Amino acid sequence: MVDDLPFPHPRTPYNAKWQKVFRPTLLSWASTFSDPYATNTLLEEPILLEMWDIIYPEIDLDKEDRMDTGVKLIYLVCVLLSPRSWATVPFQAGNILHDWRTTIGTGALNVVKNHFLFPANQFNKERITKFVQWGLDPKKFNFIYGDPNAETVRLILMFTNNTDIGLQNQKQGFRSDLVLNVYAIHLKKVAGAAATYGDQYGALALCTAAVSVVLFMLLDHTKRFPFYQTERALSFWASGEDMSMKTDENGKRKLAALFGEMEWGSRARGWAQSTSRLDFEQWRAIDAEATARVKKLPQDEAAGEDIPLGVDPRAMLEL
């Protein structure tokens, strides 16, 4: 447990630093991996001791204490059960990373709901249905773009003598309101990190997958009709109404579909193949626009014919 770590007395400020600094630092590290669901298995003692040195530079450990602390850290953040009580270990990384993914999944549901219900957006049931079908077209995935019609705009400007074609052709990948608002939730989770570990393309991929539950078929009585391949939060609105919650046999309300690795791991990895191709300027724009949205967050939000077989279409998108 955290009490086993070699914190000097009084321990309170060190425990607080563990919560306020270690957690976001761990998430900052996890965010750089292409598979955000596999980070639990990638943690090793040297990584955790590096975080320890950054967060607690004033704690001087000799060689033996350092080795002992490394073992405690890897156990604390990676092992599910305590040998003392067989109870879940508080603050273990499995929980921290699971809570992070859960927060992103729940936050995406709130972001999409607020987008459709915001009066100024003037959505009704019919418009929501059309938006979902347009935004989640599996050949285009329009929902990720800040300016999905940039190519059309470019052609119009060509005929109006505007020569800034390069600028106008930017579709602004991963800069839609929906994706940026969910990514802002992630940025709030990593605020206070003692270190950064590179571009957080795994986190951006996770946020995109959260916006984007695959519906393989649309059922119509006894017939089955192929439906647009859709992704999670938006797919709950495919009928024009919010279907993200359901009532179980005990009358309790719960999520209609989980945001777990089995359901969404492969899709998050698919999105990561595209987020990893973003260049410096694209990342700078995404981070700046999402950061500006962090303070506005509500408290409760914290395959195409031209794509080779086996290649995820999310990996081939124009950015």
Range of the domain at 226: 94-316
Q: Which residues of 159-194 are buried (b: 16+ CB within 10 A; e: fewer)?
A: eeeeeeeeebebbbbbbbebbbbbbbbbbbbbeebb
Count: domains in the chain: 2
82 and 132 part of one domain: no
157 and 261 part of one domain: yes
- The structure tokens 């991929």 sit at 205
Pairing assessment for the beta strands 245-247 and 253-255 based on DSSP bridges:
antiparallel
Pairing assessment for the beta strands 217-220 and 223-226 based on DSSP bridges:
antiparallel
44 and 128 part of one domain: no
Neighbouring-strand partners of residue 246: 254
Q: Which of 37, 111, 88 lies closest to 261, judged by CA?
A: 37
Say if residues 155 and 302 touch (Cβ distance below 8 Å): no
Q: Taking residues 112-127, what's their average pLDDT?
A: 89
84 and 115 part of one domain: no
pLDDT digit string (tens) for 121-171?
Answer: 999 988 888 888 888 887 888 889 998 877 655 555 445 554 444 444 478
163 and 36 part of one domain: no
252 and 206 part of one domain: yes
12 and 107 part of one domain: no
pLDDT digit string (tens) for 231-285?
Answer: 456 666 666 776 666 666 777 766 545 555 556 677 888 889 999 999 999 999 9
Rounded to the nearest 5°, which phi and psi values hold at 117? -95, -5
77 and 98 part of one domain: no
Provide the pLDDT for residue 190: 95
Question: Is the pLDDT reported for residue 204 higher than 90?
Answer: yes
Residue 222 CB contacts under 8 Å (≥ 6 apart), including other chains: none
Tokens of 268: 């998050």
Q: 287 versus 135: which is more confidently predicted?
A: 287
Of the three residues 70, 93, 116, the one that is the final residue of a domain is 93
Q: Which of 211, 213, 230, 214 lies closest to 114, judged by CA?
A: 211
184 and 258 part of one domain: yes
What is the pTM (predicted TM-score) of this model?
0.75
54 and 100 part of one domain: no
65 and 116 part of one domain: no
- Helix, strand or coil for residue 253? strand
188 and 51 part of one domain: no
Of the three residues 71, 93, 115, the one that is the final residue of a domain is 93
